[in-house]
Structure 1
Amino acid sequence: MSRDPNVKEDVVMMSRSPGARARAASALLAAAVVAAGCGPSDTSAGAEGSTLVTYSGQSGDYQINFNPFAPTSIGGGGTIFQPLFFYNVLRDAEPAPRLGTEFDWNEDGTQLSITLRDGVTWSDGEKFTADDVVFTLDMISKHKGMNNTGYAGRAEAVDDAHVVIRFDRPSFLDGPAVLGRTYIVPEHKWKDIADPAVAVVEDPVGTGPYLLEEFKPQAFTFKANPDYWGGEPAVKRVRSLSLSGNQAGIAALKAGQIDWQTGPVPEIEDIGKNYPGYQATITHANQIALVTCSSATLGCQGPQTDPAVRQAIYHAIDRTQTDALAFEDTGSDISPGFLLPSRDGDLISDRLRNRTAPMRPDLDTARQILESAGYAKGPDGVYAKDGVPVSLTLSVVAGWTDYITAVDTMSQQLQQAGIKVTPQQVSWNEFVDSRDRGAFQLIIDSLYQGPAPDPYYLYNYFFSTAQTAAVGAKPGPNVSRFSDPQVDQALDALKLLNPTDTAARQPHLDAIQTRIEQAMPYIPVLTQGTISVYHDAKFTGWPKDGDLYASPAVWAHPDATEVLLRLRPTGK
């Protein structure tokens, strides 16, 4: 469950104005960006004008891996490896053909027929065929770590241009994941990879509009694929930077050295004045949570394995203060049932204790929950049970300034409720490793949406037993190690229903929401206001309010590729 890397850094500085210190450092940091990210290929005005520089929030050196299925992947989904269709999760729209051109289900949802695009070749010159699609789907079936949706189909190549997938039971909900979020890989390159769920791919071969031109730990560059089936892109190069954190990103943005950035930006309310030539779009989809290693049965250790502790934390958080200090008031309400209030309001259960999480703390309720569960406050003001204090470590990636501010703010708030939380900054690689092994108590991360605007996918990713594993083994997205038979039964029932049958689905959505509000393996903080800033003066065609044809986030895949294909350099 990679948090979309809205990179971070120091504490309160980024939640307010940049301050004198940041302004004084701007010239130096911008120079560092040029040194790290720009090479000889940018010496001509023409190359400069068609090279787009992005910053996703990556802090620290890149570790090369263009495997779109690996948790350590740094890119390639959509740009190099393509799905069959593109689904826009921000609005209700027909899926757009990519490697596939048509698809249809049989009446009971047990057979999916797909027609593939003709005349497509892999970037090494080999022909793309239905065998590659079947190979990719079979590979996902065989490797649990790759199968984030519980895909259980049997794919067959009818001929080079047609694939049929058969299911033992109705599987309409598999469609968007199979069609829109499965990156097709070449059988002739991947068939000998022993563990494709984690394999390092250094020389990617794909069908997409871009090729890997150069990799360095500080930046990697994609170049336009001249043989792309859709025509060579107008944006000839895309350079992705790694910087020291948000302060460096803001300095580079102010200097005009970055064309597209997603992450916290100070003084965003007046973007045109503070960053001439730039505009911004804020979207609300990812849900910030304190992720707990929740299941003692599956090997988690620490006070957070007690639901009473998780519930107390939930009630003790001051979300209004956290939003103001860490997120410039760009966050929005979050439901403890993890439906998006703005998108899924009609589906939020009437059986929830809180339709949305309280924005102000309720310390009395937090204390009552702990004391009713047998905890007593010690002389140091921290609750304890059986001699074990409610003392927890909360990990955050170094450089993620808004999350660091949020963590520091919440740790002070929780102290008032007799809960000791110690923030710990770690590298991205350490964060991923400890998260996947279950070697953590609390981490701050975000729950992402699925391949279509349907809450089923988030529930299936993060709350399904099929998507988790015991501590020490690599899970799917359900890194909290949450496992509950009521939730599993409701998910199974939802999968059998046509997604258009809202009345039949609602009881199962109610069951999931109420159960996860009680268990709370992911403690809801806020729905994140994802800020994407783009160089409107240098490129045209950006997704904007009123025309969100794809997510405007740099790290959103395959959405970012849709953006790259729409952009046109202005020559400025």
Structure 2
Amino acid sequence: MNRTLLRLTALATAVLAVTAAAQQPKNVFTVVRSTQWGAQNLNPFAPGDQHLLPTNSVIYESLYYVNALNGKATPVLGTKYSWSKDNKTLTFTTRDGVKWSDGQAFSAQDVAFTFNYIKQYPAIDTSGLWKSGLSSVKATNNNTVVFTFSAPNTPIFQYVANQMIVPQHIWSTIKDPVTETNAKPVGTGPFVFDAYSQQALRVLKNPNYWMKGQPYIDAIVWTATNSNDAALLKLLKGEADYGYIGISDPKGEYASKGPNYSYFWPVTGDNYLYYNTAKAPFNDPAFRRAVSQAINTADVAQKAYAGAAQPANSSGVIPAQQQQWLPASAKSLQVKFDPAAADAALTKAGYKKNAQGVRLGKDGKPLPTYKILVGAGWTDFITMGQVISENLKKVGISTQIDQQAWSSYSGGFQGGTYDMGISWGWGGGPNPYYLYYQSFAPDFSAPVGKTAASNLSRYTNPVVTKALASFRATSDPAQQKQLMGTVISTVMKDMPWMPLTDRLNFALFNTSRFTGFPSNENPYNDGSPDDQLGARLMYLNVKPK
């Protein structure tokens, strides 16, 4: 054990108040977090910012892990699944030989209990499972659980698969799952909770875990810092093995520092310039597409992220999903930066320029100065807005940056009071359906002044709505691809948003002591933060050198 690890183990031991008589784990994997923790809450039903980090990453497990990059479903407590011919019944086979950490056997009855418990307490149904057509969940024997739906909804698989499963013999006695802190959790995961303080927490290897030989490490320790800079320093000094830390230049600021510094920053979504289609002239597809053509997304990405993020595809489909899902028509519909063509397209659409170069509306009056909504102090979005403002000025459109605190920023989007605004996609998942459904389905829109859940542009199109409904009704991959092609092509023609830059996860690794991290060559997870279920695969795969 090297000196750094000795110091770290000693520190963790003191902070965690582990008794001197306790045997110290040999291989301790250390995670650094720029955060401060609250109460000792390990309730898997609590929102992610309320329960402690190990809860949904290593203590509790789901039926499957669905990789958001490519849709690959990795078996966990489930071993196989199938849809009925009418896509109204989803049947899982559960794993044999699994025990809860208190020694009791896991079975399909625990799975059925978990979902029916969520039905009993709607406040913990954060995925809206029982509002999305789920009508019953029954265990037909110890290894089979059947989900029945009132109507076909195959994309719901992701939410069913990713739901954390709890033991019936424990949670059946808990009458208020919203306030329950679950200080002594009983799970099926690869680690068990050990100790906690405001500065650090630790889990130990589950000696009875169902995956023989795994995990390869004996313990995980999370340590808290007060800033990203402090967290980064711990990684550079070898005092931590992993951190989820956003920095502007991961290659220059981190990977170039030495051979043991690496990162995995996969693209999981995009940043967008949203157009408020409830307002003129943003209700005109020709205007929106021409404005989009005037924006230099390469310059936006370079100035906002110093090359760490690339310009987004005009479809909004992330790179890992493009080969499978983009239709042939997407190539010709790709928006290319061309100010001269954008200027001509605006004029052709009825938005001429006067002698002073000011763009006019169809009524012949100068267009007003439009606001670009961004979060106050969000330097990346502010930079994007500044580039866009300069770009649009060259085609005669005047804009100004509108910085707003979170409540008015999100309220402006959801209430439909903005002109244009920069935000991440309010939807996403293992295939483009989740992005387009949450972004453009009528269910997620609302009249101006009312709250739209996630259709921030307030764009709907009957062609898109019908194709999304047909997608939900089938489990045939070929049909789904054809339907999604219709959705993608229609949205790219109408341009209710302009995809600006890729949006990334921020995993940094110090590989001096461990190997087996996810990478671009082996993306076995999606670069999930350390408190999400995808991180479980990292904790299972890393090995001491």
Alignment of 1:89-104 (within 5 A): 89-90=68-69, 95-104=73-82
- Cα displacement string for residues 391-442 of structure 1 (whole angstroms, at most 9, x for unaligned residues): 22422375x6545543444344344442414152646x88667766767662
Q: Are residues 1:152 and 2:133 paired? A: yes
TM-score, length of structure 1 as denominator length: 0.71
Q: Matches of residues 139-178 of structure 1 in structure 2 within 5 Å?
A: 139=118, 146-147=127-128, 151-153=132-134, 154-168=136-150, 170-178=152-160
Determine the structure 2 residue equivalent to 1:486. 463
CA contact (8 A) 2:382 2:401 kept: no
Structure 2 Cα separation of the partners of residues 185 and 437 of structure 1: 38
1:316 to 294, 297, 305: 294
Aligned to 1:536, which of 511, 514, 523? 511
- Asked whether the 8 Å contact 1:312–1:370 carries over to 2, the reply is no
Change (3 A) 1:92 1:73: same
C-alpha separation in 2, matches of 1:395 and 1:284 = 22
2:514 and 2:543 in contact (8 A); partners too: yes
Q: Which moved more, 1:415-424 or 1:379-388?
A: 379-388
* 2:518 maps to amino acid: P
Structure with more relative contact order (C-alpha pairs < 8 Å, separation 6 or more) = 1
Report the count of equivalent residues: 514
Partner of 2:435: 458
- Is 1:259 the equivalent of 2:241? yes
Q: 1:416 to 1:252 in 2, by over 3 A?
A: farther
Instruction: State whether residues 309 and 370 of structure 1, in contact with CA within 8 Å, keep that contact through their aligned partners in structure 2.
Output: no
Name the CA distance, whole Å, in 2 between partners of 1:47 and 1:443.
47
Distance 2:186 2:113 in 1: 14
Identity of aligned residues (%): 20
State how far apart, in whole Å, the 2-side matches of 1:306 and 1:212 are: 59
Separation in structure 2 between the aligned mates of residue 434 and residue 202 of structure 1, nearest angstrom: 35
Partners of 2:349 and 2:94 in 1: CA distance: 60
Cα distance per residue 1:134-172 (max 9 Å; x no partner): 354453796785238974233222245421112355554
Structure 2: where are the runs of 5+ without partners? Answer: 1-7
Q: CA deviation at 1:98?
A: 1.6
Point out the more displaced range, 400-409 or 80-89: 400-409
Give deviations 1:44-99, integer Å, cap 9, x for gaps.
996796141234xx6x7667786667475675433344210123454585x43322
Partners of 2:159 and 2:386 in 1: CA distance: 37
Partner of 2:5: none
**Structure 2 counterparts to residues 199-348 of structure 1, below 5 A:** 202-203=181-182, 205=185, 207=187, 208-210=189-191, 211=193, 213-214=195-196, 216=198, 221-224=201-204, 226=206, 229-230=209-210, 233=215, 234=217, 236-239=219-222, 241=224, 243-245=226-228, 247=229, 249-262=231-244, 263-266=246-249, 268=251, 272-275=255-258, 277-291=260-274, 294=276, 296=278, 310-332=288-310, 334-341=312-319, 343-345=321-323, 347-348=325-326
Any idea what the Cα deviations from partners look like across 1:28-53, whole Å, max 9, x if unmatched?
xxxxx99x999724999967961412
For the residues of structure 2 that align with 1:486 and 1:450, how far apart are their CA atoms? 22
Q: CA deviation at 1:332?
A: 3.9
Change (3 A) 1:237 1:510: closer
Query: Quick check: 1:149–1:457 contact (8 Å CA) kept in 2?
Result: no
After superposing the two structures, state which structure 1 stretch, 76-85 or 41-50, moved more. 41-50
Note the C-alpha offset of 1:361: 4.8
Give CA deviations for 1:437-481 in whole Å, capped at 9, x if unaligned.
767662422466424xx3333333333333455678776554555
Kindly indicate whether the alpha-carbon contact (under 8 Å) linking 1:552 and 1:563 is maintained by their aligned counterparts in 2.
no
- Of the candidates 163, 187, 200, which is equivalent to residue 182 of structure 1? 163
How do 1:286-435 and structure 2 match up within 5 A?
286-291=269-274, 294=276, 296=278, 310-332=288-310, 334-341=312-319, 343-345=321-323, 347-352=325-330, 354-358=332-336, 360-362=337-339, 365=342, 368-369=345-346, 372=349, 389-396=368-375, 398=377, 402-417=380-395, 418-422=397-401, 424=403, 426=405
Offset at 1:536? 0.6
Return the alpha-carbon distance in structure 2 between the equivalents of residues 369 and 149 of structure 1: 47
How far is the alpha carbon of 1:524 from its aligned partner? 0.5
Aligned to 1:568: 543
Quick one: distance in 2 between partners of 1:395 and 1:406? 9
Distance 2:413 2:113 in 1: 30
Q: Measure how far apart 1:528 and its partner are.
A: 3.8
Q: Is the 8 A contact 2:374 2:422 kept in 1?
A: yes
Task: Tell me the distance in 2 between the aligned counterparts of 1:357 and 1:201.
Answer: 50
After TM superposition, give the deviation of residue 182 of structure 1 in Å.
2.4
Please give the alpha-carbon distance, in whole angstroms, between the structure 2 residues aligned to 1:361 and 1:343.
27
Q: 1:279 to 1:466 in 2, by over 3 A?
A: same
Q: 1:152 to 1:472 in 2, by over 3 A?
A: farther
Q: SS of the counterpart of 2:526?
A: coil
User: Are the structure 2 counterparts of residues 48 and 119 from structure 1 closer, same or farther at C-alpha, using a change threshold of 3 Å?
Assistant: closer
- Secondary structure (helix, strand or coil) at the match of 2:222 reads strand
Distance 1:403 1:186, change over 3 A: farther
Return the offset for 1:535.
0.9
**Larger-Rg structure:** 2
How much has 1:563 moved relative to structure 2?
0.4
- Where 2:509 maps in the other structure, the secondary structure is strand
The 8 Å contact of residues 66 and 74 in structure 2, kept in 1 or not, is answered as: yes
2:501 maps to 1:526: yes
Q: Is the 8 A contact 2:243 2:509 kept in 1?
A: yes
Q: CA RMSD in A?
A: 4.8
Does 2:487 correspond to 1:508? no
Structure 1: tracts of 5 or more residues without a match: 1-32
